[in-house]
Amino acid sequence: MIPVFQLATGLIQQVNPNTPAKLLISTGQEGRAPDGSPIPAYATPCAFTGSIAGTILTVTAATKGKIVPGLTIAGAGITAGTQIVAGITGDGGAGDYRVSRSQTVASTAITADLIASAQVQDLSQKEVRLFEALNLQPAQKIIYVTGYLSGVVRFNQKGGDIIDIGEERYLTTAVLEQWPTWCKIAATLQNGS
């Protein structure tokens, strides 16, 4: 006999499966456009030059973004699915980092994305009423994401984090629940309706 929890979880996964999502983590502003509007800066995706010996990634130059644990890296000779596990001497830029898969890779251009698992759901009637009361329209979807995301932080002039799922891009409008390994967010579709 299958336990009720497993059965329910399996049925939910069939109806609303986990989907890979690329996360763009906002770090504030990188400047202003000619019209005066802020240009957002993101820690992810990032690009850098580095080599790997065993499980040690040595980054010699970072050209875009910030290197953080959890990034999935790609480049010539890098084993698919390799992730950055921790900083050793590196703290977002040049330095050494531990990676998830042992390998030997000569110095190469590397790109890195923060990939998470996400479930997109329509708003419940209760959530629609809540968002109207908080003046958070148009929050169009609820997304459950593995990891930590942030909404707009006006004091720090930081925009909301971005979630790319397939061809759709969502802006984190509000973080509704935050747990150690996942969060529930209200998100606004940015490209389309």
Band of residue 171 on the pLDDT scale cut at 50, 70, 90: confident
Please tell me the predicted confidence (pLDDT) of residue 140: 77
Strands (E), 26-135: 26-32, 38-42, 46-64, 71-74, 84-87, 95-122
Which tokens hold the place of 29? 């502003």
Please tell me the predicted confidence (pLDDT) of residue 110: 97
How much is the mean pLDDT over the chain?
81
The structural domains of the chain, with segments of one domain joined by +, span: 4-28+115-189, 42-114
Please tell me the predicted confidence (pLDDT) of residue 158: 63
Type of residue at 157: Q
pTM to 2 decimal places: 0.69
Phi, psi of 66 (to 5 degrees): -130, 130
pLDDT digits (tens, 9 = 90+) for 120-147: 887 777 777 776 766 655 557 888 888 7
Please tell me the predicted confidence (pLDDT) of residue 33: 80
Closest-CA residue to 40 (of 56, 21, 60, 24)? 24
Residue 13: helix, strand or coil by DSSP? helix
